[in-house]
Structure 1
Amino acid sequence: MRKRSGRWLVIVSLLAWSGLGATAELQTAAAAYQTVPKQRVFDATVEAVNQATVSAQINGRIVGIYFDIHDYVPRGKVIISFRDTEQRTQFEVAQAVLREAEVRLSEAQIEFERVEQIYERRLVSKSALDRAKADLQAAKARADSAQAGLQRAEELLGYTEVRAPYAGIVVKRLVEVGESVTVGQPLMAGLSLEQLRLTAALPQQVIAQLQRDRGVTVLLPDGGELAIASAQMTVFPFTDAASHTVRVRVELPAGIKGVNPGMMVKVMVPTGAEQRLLIPRAAVVQRSELTAVYVIGADGGVLLRQIRAGRPGPDGQVEVLAGLEENERVALNPVAAAAVLKQGRAAP
């Protein structure tokens, strides 16, 4: 029995020595208070910079609707067309009138040049030259008028096709095929996803600090952060008398992913500085709903401890709201720390 007890004692000692050696090799970092910007978080709404409702510019009957709600429409694409028989006839008439006016102008030009040559030889009177010149000017005026009439007829013909003013998404369709509409009647509403912005109503107390610090941080739905400089911000120069808030508009970078018009996002506004307990983000373990770190005790032992994490900090750090004290050391490699902890538990 004494020999067997001695063997177990040697085995336990070797396992304990092995666990302490592995603990000594773990890379650790101490939880420390650091001075970081103090920020308040406010709600903001995502909206499209380009959003509009297209309306009819002529009276007519709809013969085609080529896009529906939630469809993507390229810029300049025809979305609605009207019956164009009347407008096309007016366009063809205007073309014929212009051709006639150009022929009359050519005749008047030739006649003026002929009379002018005869006048130089003193074979016709000055009044004949004046009449030829007046006829030429009248022909030019008629040609200009015909050209303007053709442009007007072409414009009216173009109104029979409603085109997308920019690439975007259809959000409302307000008419049906076969329906007769009048000038100014709304037809379809859409918005562009290429350029987005945020709008937020901020308390008047934070506006002065916002303008001094020159920027905000947007918390994206995917957990990322986006720093916005003052050049992309607009602070409206008036305060709402009922809520005592000031409207702020924040321009987002073009082509940003993960946000859509109508979404609610968070905006962090700097309001000073504060002390926060920070640790490297690499030390944090996320297991389902458990957020924890591997704490290295003064005796070199490893302990998995649950913490409550706060907002991200600078340089890849994260705030600890509860579960750690200042100067406590955490393992930077949770996988290696878990192996050491498992080895230590297997020793008994």
Structure 2
Amino acid sequence: MRTIRLIAALAALAPGLLQAADSPALETAVAEYRTLPREYRLDGIVEAVNRTTVSAQTQGRVEEITFDVDDYVEQNTVVARIKDTEHRAKVAQAAADLKSASARLLQAREEFERIKGLYARKNVSDSAMDKATADLAAAQAELDSATARLEQAQEQLDYTQIRAPYSGIVTHRHVEVGETLSPGQPVMTGISLDQLRVIVDVPQSAIASVRREPQARVYLPDGERVETDRITVFPFADLGSNTFKVRVELPEGTPSLFPGMFVKTGFVVGVKDELVVPRAAVARRSEVTGVYVLTDEGHLILRQVRLGRELDDVVVVLAGLNAGERVALDPIAAGVAIKTQAEARRAAAENGHD
């Protein structure tokens, strides 16, 4: 009888707190309406911003492939090598031509200076001076041509080492060792997971709101969400579906996402007053989702509710609860309190029967 009187007294004195026998105070919160962003949710597909197929830029036989599918490659790392014997020979030949052209230019310059001195003293004709000038210009042009050929040969030699343009993961390998490549032939395809974006097809009826308020929320598989205002709306609709393609840029390093995954994407299209309760108040018992409601009489009851979307630390209640009702913030402690109440009522009934 003393336990029953204690529970009743606590419920009457503090409707916001309920304390069962030998248990701590039970915190509660009030279900209330809040002005929340109104979302238009659609399915989107994750894709990598950086997706590249590295191709051969010179001809030759594949001598080595250093990475395979699913390997991580650092930027500027060699992913494949082409046999470079012929290219090294061309570099050596171009270097020899450059050396020869330099010698001829030196000789032409010395001859020009000699003829120039004689011409100043009127010891040679105008034609001799013109010839010396032309020979010097030709030697200079030959040197420039030899320099360009050497640079080209060195560049072709560099092309025999095919490098990764950025850090990423190999997704496809298009060649095998021993194959002969030609310029433009694909060698390896890779993607970077550092920069991702979501592609969403938005119906024509909603595209005006998306343009007006460029804000989006991408819901990750682990339950978290990412907010961004970096949105690009394509300026034309698809002829078959009458939808506009919208590209949502994700922050760099967003976890739990990989290209090709489906994700829920919500676009903010206004605001709406919705009934919410703290997320901590929600109790899930097998297939039942509910909250523990504290009645005006100070009793706890488990009320089944239908929930909507979650925002930060609150969850939207679609049905089963009214504004102003008080819910327990600790479902486990509330379950213990209900059990204590039931035992107290049973004891009271037995005492009354006696």
Q: TM-score, normalised by structure 2?
A: 0.87
Q: CA deviation at 1:16?
A: 4.7
In structure 2, the CA distance between the partners of 1:75 and 1:14, relative to structure 1 (3 Å rule), is closer
**1:179 counterpart residue number:** 179
The aligned counterpart of 1:13 is 5
Distance in 2, matches of 1:309 and 1:140, equals: 83
- Do the aligned partners of residues 11 and 41 (structure 1) sit closer, same or farther apart at CA in structure 2, a change above 3 Å counting? closer
Question: How do 1:66-77 residues align onto structure 2 when only pairs under 5 Å count?
Answer: 66-77=66-77
Residue pair 1:311, 1:318 contacting (<8 A) in 2 also: yes
Which stretch shifts more, 60-69 or 150-159? 150-159
Aligned to 1:293: 291
Change (3 A) 1:174 1:288: farther
Aligned to 2:278: 280
Query: Structure 1 counterpart of 2:290, which letter?
Result: A
For residue 63 of structure 1, report the CA deviation from its aligned partner.
0.8
The Cα of 1:290 is off from its aligned counterpart by 5.0
CA RMSD of aligned residues (A): 2.2
Mark the CA change 1:155 to 1:345 in structure 2 (over 3 Å): closer, same or farther.
Answer: same
Counterpart in 2 of 1:247?
Answer: 245
Q: Distance in 2 between matches of 1:289 and 1:50?
A: 43
- Paired with 1:11 and 1:273, the residues of 2 have a C-alpha distance of 48
Q: Distance in 1 between matches of 2:3 and 2:261?
A: 61
Compute the displacement of 1:206 (Å): 0.2
Instruction: Give the Cα separation in 2 of the matches to 1:213 and 1:290.
Output: 37
Q: 1:46 is paired with a residue of what secondary structure?
A: strand
Structure 2 CA distance for partners of 1:240 and 1:15, relative to 1, 3 Å = closer
**Match for 1:179: what amino acid?**
E
Question: Which residue of 2 is the match for residue 27 of structure 1?
Answer: 27
2:47 maps to a residue whose letter is E
TM-score calculated relative to the size of structure 1:
0.89
| Superposition deviation, residue 145 in structure 1 | 0.3
Q: CA deviation at 1:261?
A: 0.7
Query: Which of 259, 262, 266 pairs up with 2:260?
Result: 262
The within-5 A match list for 1:58-137 is 58-137=58-137
Q: Give the equivalent residue in structure 2 for 1:202.
A: 202
Q: Do the aligned residues in 2 keep the contact of 1:33 with 1:278 (CA within 8 Å)?
A: yes
Tell me the amino acid that sits aligned with residue 341 of structure 2.
G
Deviation by residue 1:87-114 (Cα, 9 ceiling, x = unmatched)? 1111110011011111111222222223
SS at match of 1:57: coil
Q: Deviations over 1:101-142 (max 9, x none)?
A: 111112222222232233333333333222222111111000
* Kept in 1: contact 2:8–2:298 (CA 8 A): no
Change (3 A) 1:15 1:214: closer
Q: Distance in 1 between matches of 2:340 and 2:124?
A: 124
Counterpart of 1:327 in structure 2 is 324
- Alignment partner, residue 5 of structure 1: none
The Cα offsets for residues 42-64 of structure 1, whole Å up to 9 and x where unpaired, read as 01001111112122222321110
In the TM superposition, residue 339 of structure 1 has moved relative to its aligned partner by 4.7
Letter in 2 for 1:76: N
Q: Give unpaired runs (5+ residues) of structure 2.
A: 20-24, 348-354
2:146 aligned residue: 146
In structure 1, C-alpha distance between the alignment counterparts of 2:270 and 2:2, rounded to whole Å: 59
Percent identity of paired positions between Structure 1 and Structure 2? 47
Structure 1 unaligned runs (5+)? 1-8
State yes or no: 1:312 paired with 2:304.
Answer: no
One-letter amino acid of the counterpart of residue 23, structure 1: L
Q: Distance in 2 between matches of 1:111 and 1:226?
A: 75
**Structure 2 CA distance for partners of 1:183 and 1:133, relative to 1, 3 Å:** same
The one-character-per-residue Cα deviations of 1:228-256 (angstroms, maximum 9, x if unpaired) are 21xx2111111112111111111111121
Deviates more, 1:267-276 or 1:74-83: 267-276
Within 5 A, what are the aligned runs for 1:31-42? Answer: 31-42=31-42
